[in-house]
Amino acid sequence: MTDLTGLTIAEIRDGLRRKDFSATELARAYIGAIERARALNAFIAETPDRALAAAAQSDARIARGDIRPLEGVPLGIKDLFCTEGVHSQAASHILNGFRPPYESTVTANLWRDGALMLGKLNMDEFAMGSSNEASYYGPVVNPWRANGSDEKLVPGGSSGGSAAAVAARLCAGATATDTGGSIRQPAAFTATVGIKPTYGRCSRWGIVAFASSLDQAGPIARTVRDAAIMLRSMAGHDPKDTTSADLPVPDYEAAVGAGMKGLRVGIPKEYRLDGMPPVIETLWEQGRAWLKAAGAEIVDVSLPHTKYALPAYYIVAPAEASSNLARYDGVRYGLRVPGDDLVATYENTRAAGFGAEVKRRILIGTYVLSAGYYDAYYLRAQKVRTLIKRDFEECFAAGVDAILTPATPSAAFAIGSKAKASPVEMYLNDIFTVTVNMAGLPGIAVPAGLDERGLPLGLQLIGRPFDEETLFRAAQVIEDAAGTFAPARWW
């Protein structure tokens, strides 16, 4: 029998329908793979008993012919998603022991459609990070290694556990979230496909909040088709989330393979940065050539306020984080470190519970929201955000259907290599991705090649609001041209 963990979601779906294998056999294969790959530190909590129980139910439904869209598909769930009765701590010590009595809307949608949970995936604490080194549970190790090197690399962040687990064949797909690039950057670092949908496409209810106006859930998968299959189940209107869009969810899979004829793709000049590695420039040109060969019209476009996106993002996101994280006080749930009085209890709990990066962002956010600086920083950043959004609107109004950019400024870097650098150097990893969140647009990262050291690189496609279908069309062209990539197993 073929190694079951090597199958894509589409292949799992077809194989289960043909009864080539059972959902239980599939779940056992993944459970074994996870047990053998603990060196990657991708999972924070494993739920094998729950997975096998759900697989048995799937086998019974398959026998009856009552098959749901994701029947028997084993998934990993980012620790930011609340899962009823199961560890849900946003990889933070301050939520120590928290097991929610409710299920996030996105995961509930996946279970409704027949998927099963293998466990909770590691991540940067409260989704604040670009390398997955800011987790209370330690860094995730990228399953990719440079040619001839044993150096451990970061998988990207904050959804590093999701990307690493999918790349290492520890789950068929994974949920993730993206506030400034946290789906697309780790996808690019691990040769997986990650899509951040339009803001409002997936419900935020039951997802631990980082920056409420920027956070959006999405899938990380091995192929463009798998990402399309997952997103259809994850998306949908939710009355419990006031920012959830009341729009029908298209059949995204139907768009895969539709080609590029009649579509216009923009190349923004502002994304050509000083000092950009030649390999990134070459990859970008290659992506442009692939889309043109598939029938797309390639046009140069301008997004003039792009240069302000990163500083504006690192004002807006910490400001919202400062507000959202004020709820963690050591009184109602999670960690509690007693003090002489209530205020001391708050202080002790937060000092012990939050990691260094989270504390840094809370301090920045509290500062920019303070009375003397609100207008100078936060209000001005929101105005810049409006200008960034307007740039995209003008571009799309001129007839552009999608925009092609690099996904990251480099391939994955070594764990610890940026620990002593300025935090700004780490924040620069998000330079190509934050504009999409600031404007609320959909963006997808798709593997496009390997660098001179054999490490994966990705391209990013940005689309019109609620037009994820065009992104899947374009991403499939790149995937067909570039092929798919998997790391050599060393763990």
Q: Which of the residues are catalytic?
A: 78, 158, 182
**What are phi and psi for residue 305, nearest 5 degrees?**
-95, 10
Q: CA–CA separation, 343 vs 350, rounded Å?
A: 11
Structure tokens at 203: 């419900």
Element (DSSP H or E) covering residue 299: strand 297-301
Strand duo 116-121 + 74-78: pairing: parallel
Q: CA–CA separation, 271 vs 310, rounded Å?
A: 12
Handedness of CA 210, 214, 219, 223 (dihedral sign): negative
Strand duo 297-301 + 443-450: pairing: unpaired
Q: CA–CA separation, 17 vs 44, rounded Å?
A: 32
Q: What is the three-class DSSP state of 463?
A: strand
Measured between alpha carbons, how far is residue 2 from residues 7, 25, 118, 237, 250 in Å?
Answer: 8, 12, 21, 38, 33
Q: What is the three-class DSSP state of 197?
A: coil
Q: What is the three-class DSSP state of 374?
A: helix
Q: Using the 8-state DSSP alphabet, how is residue 378 labeled?
A: I
**What are phi and psi for residue 40, nearest 5 degrees?**
-80, -20
How many other C-beta atoms can be found within 10 angstroms of the C-beta atom of residue 319? 24
Measured between alpha carbons, how far is residue 361 from residues 95, 198, 420 in Å?
Answer: 18, 25, 17
Handedness of CA 421, 422, 425, 430 (dihedral sign): positive
Element (DSSP H or E) covering residue 284: helix 278-293
CA 418 to the chain's CA centroid: 21
Q: Are 471 and 231 in contact (CB under 8 A)?
A: no
The two counts, helices (H) then strands (E), for the chain are: 16, 11
Measured between alpha carbons, how far is residue 80 from residues 89, 101, 128 in Å?
Answer: 7, 15, 11
